[in-house]
Structure 1
Amino acid sequence: MRRPPRHANLPEQRGNVGIQGDRHHVDRRIIQRSRAAEAGAPVPIARPSAPVGTLRSLEVTISSMNPKPRHIERALRERVEIVAYDPAWPGLFAEEVARLRAALPAELIGRIEHFGSTAVPGLAAKPIIDMLVEVRSMEDVAERIAPLLRALGYEFFWRAPGHGLPGMEYAWFIRRDAAGRRTHHIHFVEAGSSEWGRLRFRDYLRAHSEVARAYGALKQRIAAQYPDDRIAYAKAKTCFVREVMRAVRRDHIPW
């Protein structure tokens, strides 16, 4: 099979976060941090010394692309908006699953999951449906899936492997409505990718409603603080995400 073209190198931090303390201590720390932000304390932009792991911000990913095509510049400039949970979100996910399966050859895609904040009942979120789609290979995405979805108006983003290697490690698409608003982020990853670890974050919030409420309050505070800076918004959530992932790993929550 023909290899996808060599892409610009987009370095990313990798690794796992250590397990520290018991779950209840971690939960209290998460909630206390969020309440301080909700009370009006500025939320600093995290500059972690250790990598955050599978829950890397997509905004941070695309910010490292060089050069930046027009659709990337547009994505980075768009305003951060957090809204109350919408019970219609699961239905929008299901509709997009049907759309993708109708548009793409069945042999190219497998499991499809709803993740991110719109997948957690009751959680305030950006009104954008995040989806993980399993593929056999990134070559399939580059050579067969991307041309089909781009022809339907989806915007294509990718991340290259580290260490100057050729090819494409990770790919995602933005779908927009007729008014140009983002409606879906669709992420294509191979079956063995660490990106499936994002489901563990989703499942933890689903199982811990108080932590989910704290996360929603924190996101609203950060969005008010950085409404026009998607990079700062994403980075400011890093400490919270790290604390949750410590609890996830301690509880050995499966993928």
Structure 2
Amino acid sequence: MTKSLSEMSLEELWQLFPIILKKHNSEYKEWYREEKKDLLAALPKKYIERINHIGSTAVPGLLAKPTVDILLEISREAGIAKIEAELKNAGWTLMHRNEDSQELNLVFNKGYTPHGFADKVFHLHLRYLDDWDELYFRDYLIAHPKIAENYGALKKNLEAEYKNNRDGYTEAKTNFITKWTAEARKDFKNKYKINKKD
């Protein structure tokens, strides 16, 4: 009998969902557009501040896990429980929760099955509207193809060692991401800074 995902240990999940890198798929952009449309239909529009395609699949030509990452930013007045319930009704599964009075970081997935990855896989990062590093890093890689190529090479070098260790894979990329995000913030100034009302 096949275990459900909630019954599996972290090690079992990492075996079932290994790090797999693929050449850029031009259809990622369309996957994002379709999912964005569905999110706008499923959630109260008054709470949605901004939706963005982030991560490596948002960068043309970049080697990536075939997972489309979406950053959904909501207002601080949003009803989190209602949004979470609506996302679950729309087929999203909560993977991670970090919530307090100041910060919100809920991560949902779609396309993870007890038999492995579905044909289309998504991660949804639900946060309050803010000046997020992921937006700067994405834009910097798009503007600097050579840096994006170096990032792809780094990931390729890490793929075998961390195939079944997602946390280790993420940690091993941190220095590269931190360095170039800092450069992005210099180049793009306060591109995504929110003008908060007093």
State the TM bucket, normalised to the shorter chain.
0.7 to 0.9
The alignment partner of 1:172 has SS state of strand
1:175 aligns with 2:116: no
Number of aligned residues = 180
Partner of 1:84: 23
Relative distance call for 1:207 and 1:226 in structure 2 (3 A) is same
Q: TM-score normalized by structure 2?
A: 0.80
User: Which has the higher Rg, Structure 1 or Structure 2?
Assistant: 1
Alignment match of 1:154 (pick from 88, 92, 95): 92
Partner of 2:127: 189
Superposition map of 1:38-53 within 5 A: none
| Segment of structure 1 superposing worse, 236-245 or 93-102 | 236-245
- Give the ranges of 4+ consecutive aligned residues of structure 1 lying more than 6 Å apart after TM superposition: none
CA 1:75–1:148: 2 relative to 1, 3 Å: farther
User: CA, structure 1 residues 249+90, in 2 after alignment: closer, same or farther (shift >3 Å)?
Assistant: same
The separation in 1 between residues aligned to 2:143 and 2:154, in whole angstroms, is 18
- C-alpha distance in 1, partners of 2:50/2:179? 28
Matches for 1:118-129 after TM superposition, within 5 Å: 118-129=57-68
CA RMSD of aligned residues (A): 2.4
Query: How many percent identity over aligned positions?
Result: 32
Report if the CA contact (8 A) 1:93-1:129 is conserved: yes
Cα distance in structure 2, aligned partners of 1:138 and 1:70:
34
Structure 2 spans left out of the alignment, 5+ residues: 1-5, 193-198
**2:54 paired residue number:** 115
User: Which has more strand, going by share of residues?
Assistant: 2
Question: Once the two structures are superposed, what CA deviation does each residue of 1:28-60 show, in whole Å capped at 9, x if it has no partner?
Answer: xxxxxxxxxxxxxxxxxxxxxxxxxxxxxxxxx
- CA distance 1:237–1:155, change in 2 (3 Å): same
| Deviations 1:115-150 (CA, angstroms, capped at 9, x unpaired) | 110000000101001111121237622x10111222
2:14 and 2:154 mapped to 1: Cα distance? 21
Q: CA deviation at 1:219?
A: 0.5
| 1:106-255 superposed matches below 5 A | 106-137=45-76, 140-141=79-80, 143-156=81-94, 157-161=96-100, 169-176=104-111, 180-181=116-117, 183-191=121-129, 193-194=130-131, 196-253=132-189, 254-255=191-192
Q: Is 1:93 matched with 2:32?
A: yes
Contact 2:48–2:74, Cα closer than 8 Å, also in 1: yes
- Aligned-pair distance for 1:230? 0.6
Instruction: Specify every segment of 5 or more residues in structure 1 that has no aligned partner in the other structure, as ranges.
Output: 1-68
> 1:174 and 1:234 mapped to 2: Cα distance?
17
AA in 2 matched with 1:173: F
2:195 maps to none
1:146/1:209 CA distance change after superposition, 3 Å? same
TM-score, normalization by structure 1 = 0.64
Q: Give the conservation status (yes or no) of the 8 Å contact 1:138–1:169.
A: no
| Cα pair distance change 1:177/1:234, threshold 3 Å | closer
